[in-house]
Amino acid sequence: MYIDIDFEGNKLTFNIKKEIAFFSKHTGVGLKKIEASVYVDKEIHENITKIIEKAKKTGINSIDKQGKILKKWKIKNSTYSYIENKPISKYYHFLELEEIEDLHIDSLIIDKLIFHPYSYNEEFVRDALIIDAKVNLSELQFTEVKKLIEKNDYFKVIRHGISDEPREMKLGLPLWSKHKDTIKYYFTLSEKNYFETKEKNINYSYPMILNMSFLLAKQDGILKELLTILSSKKVLTNEEITEIKEKASNQTWSREIDFYQVKNIDEFL
């Protein structure tokens, strides 16, 4: 068995040494993993070695005899060796390839809210689904999203166009930007089992959060002392102080989400 691979406009035919079938974590569709090899001369070796290194990030395509793309592949591993064989020496290239799906989402449903992402990506981390999506929201939709985040709970998420299977997922940081009558919102969603792993995650923002917590606690202490002084001097009644505290408590989340506003989501990410 053979497979023709496109190396930036140049076709190279590899011999398939091994083929393994597996099912996609994203859609459940049957896919393939293959091991393939080819012998090339020095000039071709130097050319494809550079292309393979770039393709480890972008993927590589298999093509038919007319050059039409058949499938896209992720390079899981690549090796080569030099074989001296007079009068012509050869280079032996070996590739481990995994078939890549072309995922297209029609709509993203979170709880009962429906969104149509203009940018979407999903991947599996430690067998847990992680979603990154950008959407345009109206003010009303933005209010509904804020209510979801405030619940700090898991919601049923459906990715129409990829899979209709509901998944229990949690919303991450609420990054957003304001644009006239539209709000660009960046969703991050993580599957429940992602948080249940025992694997340690390094949080590089921890020192910043620790310092912010200290400063907020200091500020909170100053405000409490200020209210005490205003009360002792009869500037404010106890009822007025209680009312201030209640209003501040009710506004905490609406003010906290302002910390996550950026100038433009598309430029920030």
DSSP 197-220: --S----TTHHHHHHHHHHHHHHH
Measured between its terminal Cα atoms, the distance across the chain in Å is 43
The reply to whether 27 and 51 lie within a common domain is yes
Q: What angle do CA 218, 221, 227 make, to 5 degrees?
A: 145
* Total count of domains within the chain: 3
Q: Decide: helix, strand or coil at residue 97.
A: strand
Tell me whether residue 211 is in a domain.
yes
Tell me whether residue 200 is in a domain.
no
- Structural domain range at position 146: 107-195
The reply to whether 185 and 143 lie within a common domain is yes
Q: Could you read off the pLDDT tens digit of each residue along the chain, which spans 269 residues? A: 999 999 999 999 999 999 999 999 999 999 999 999 999 998 999 999 999 999 999 999 999 999 999 999 999 999 999 988 767 779 999 999 999 998 999 999 999 999 999 999 999 988 899 999 999 999 999 999 988 888 889 999 999 999 999 999 999 877 899 998 899 999 999 998 887 765 555 454 555 565 666 677 677 777 888 888 888 888 888 888 888 777 766 655 556 777 788 899 999 88
pTM listed for this prediction: 0.70
User: Could you tell me how far CA 231 lies from the centroid of its own chain?
Assistant: 51
